[in-house]
């Protein structure tokens, strides 16, 4: 079943049922995922079947690189609930490389990474966690005999899109703090020609990561971003603006001592 822009919502149950069955998921779980993605992307309910259809194709390839990081974003991935890490790895994406959670190690792990890079140019997504050290030819972070600088340029340069997760990969973070002895920088500074989406935070919100890729699969392009390369659907508004205590702020009523 194909979705057209003039389809009514009456067709949604049959579409969801059909796609969920193909993916080996319950209709309820798949419906919750598609509805959640539509809500997160600020899309109307009429886009739910379009999102569902986008998820019927071949699972997108995804590789996850870790450089100067604390693995906090990986921990966020492992503890994600909407969707869970199992959903992400088994049903949504084809996660072909992630050092922390993959079974292979050493040359076997590197082969998995390079197979994706060499055989699927322009088709895979790269998630980068951690800053990248540039000082002394990148010697402060090497994997498999290659510096993180060389790895980032080789892998990110051929990707459909790069998602810099966490503040370290987006802006340099703690590794880039003065005096910054390793010359740590953001992903965008190392691979200036790549299509990069920044998802800062410590750690990243995994739902925002998933939503960025779902948006790409649904519309064939990445979501709109602000001047800091952050997706507007996630970073376009401040939590402060909708805070229940905002009225006190506007009135200049501040807490100045215990008991206020």
Question: Do residues 149 and 138 make contact, with C-beta atoms less than 8 angstroms apart?
Answer: yes
Domain termination residue (choose one: 28, 57, 86): 57
Determine, yes or no, domain membership for 260.
Answer: no
- Please check whether residue 244 lies inside any domain of the structure: no
Task: Determine the pLDDT at residue 1.
Answer: 39
Count the domains in the chain.
2
Kindly state whether residue 248 falls inside one of the protein's structural domains: no
Per residue of the chain (260 residues), what is the pLDDT tens digit?
Answer: 344 444 444 455 565 556 555 555 666 777 777 788 887 787 888 787 777 777 777 788 999 999 999 999 999 988 888 777 777 776 778 889 999 988 888 999 999 999 999 999 999 999 999 999 999 999 999 998 999 999 999 999 999 999 999 999 999 999 999 999 999 999 999 998 889 999 999 999 988 998 898 898 888 889 999 999 999 999 998 888 888 888 888 999 888 888 87
pLDDT of residue 3: 41
Asked whether residue 70 falls in the same domain as residue 42, the answer is no
With b for 16 or more beta-carbon neighbours within 10 A and e for fewer, the 213-240 pattern comes to bbbbbbeeebbebeeebbbebbbeeeee
For residues 62 and 123, give the distance between their C-alpha atoms in angstroms, rounded to a whole number.
9
Let me know whether 15 and 113 are in one domain.
no
Residues 46 and 138 in one domain: no
Q: What is the residue range of 218's domain?
A: 58-231
Closest by CA to 11, choosing from 20, 26, 21, 1, is: 1
Looking at the structure, tell me whether residues 48 and 174 fall in a common domain: no
pLDDT for res 6? 44
**Could you tell me if 27 and 64 lie in one domain?**
no
What pLDDT is stored for residue 87 in this prediction? 73
Do residues 92 and 190 both lie within one domain? Answer: yes
For residue 12, what is the DSSP state?
H
Same structural domain, 112 and 225: yes
Domain contains 40: yes
For residue 247, tell me if it sits in a domain.
no
Residue 124 shares a structural domain with residue 41: no
Assess whether the previous peptide bond of 179 is cis (omega < 30° from 0): yes
CB 188 within 8 A of CB 196: yes
- What's the confidence (pLDDT) of residue 11? 53
Q: What is the CATH number of the domain that holds 178?
A: 3.40.50.700
Rounded to whole angstroms, how far apart are CA atoms 227 and 195? 14
d(CA 224, CA 231): 6
Q: Do 121 and 225 lie in a common domain?
A: yes
73 inside domain: yes
3-state secondary structure (DSSP) of residue 188: helix
Residue 137 maps to a domain: yes
Query: For the whole prediction, is pTM greater than 0.75?
Result: yes
Q: Rounded distance, CA 50 to CA 12, Å?
A: 10
Which structure tokens are listed for 67? 């450089």
- pLDDT of 15: 56
Q: For position 27, what pLDDT does the model report?
A: 65
| Cα 100 to Cα 64: distance, rounded to the nearest angstrom | 9
| Same domain as 151, residue 119 | yes
Q: Which helix (H) or strand (E) segment is 27 a member of? A: helix 27-40
Same domain, 27 and 62: no
- Same domain assignment for residues 24 and 101: no
In a domain, 198, yes or no: yes
């Amino acid at each position: 079943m194909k979705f057209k822009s003039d389809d009514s919502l009456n067709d949604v149950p049959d579409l969801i049922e059909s796609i969920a069955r193909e993916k080996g998921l319950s209709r309820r779980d798949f419906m919750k995922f598609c509805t959640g993605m539509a809500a997160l992307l600020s899309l109307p309910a009429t886009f739910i079947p379009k999102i569902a259809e986008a998820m019927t194709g071949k699972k997108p390839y995804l590789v996850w690189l870790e450089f100067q990081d604390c693995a906090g974003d990986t921990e966020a991935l492992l503890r994600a609930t909407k969707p869970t890490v199992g959903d992400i790895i088994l049903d949504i994406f084809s996660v072909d490389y992630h050092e922390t959670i993959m079974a292979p190690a050493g040359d076997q792990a590197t082969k998995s990474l390079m197979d994706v890079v060499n055989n699927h140019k322009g088709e895979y997504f790269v998630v980068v966690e951690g800053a990248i050290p540039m000082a002394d030819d990148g010697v402060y972070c090497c994997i498999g005999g290659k510096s993180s600088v060389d790895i980032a340029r080789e892998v990110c340069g051929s990707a459909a899109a790069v998602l810099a997760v966490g503040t370290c990969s987006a802006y340099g973070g703690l590794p880039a703090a003065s005096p910054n002895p390793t010359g740590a920088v953001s992903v965008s500074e190392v691979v200036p020609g790549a299509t990069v989406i920044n998802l800062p935070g410590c750690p990243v919100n995994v739902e925002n990561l998933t939503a960025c890729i779902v948006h790409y699969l649904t519309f064939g392009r990445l979501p709109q971003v602000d001047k800091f390369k952050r997706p507007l659907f996630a970073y376009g508004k401040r939590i402060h603006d909708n805070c229940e205590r905002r009225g006190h702020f506007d009135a200049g009523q501040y807490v100045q001592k215990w008991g206020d």
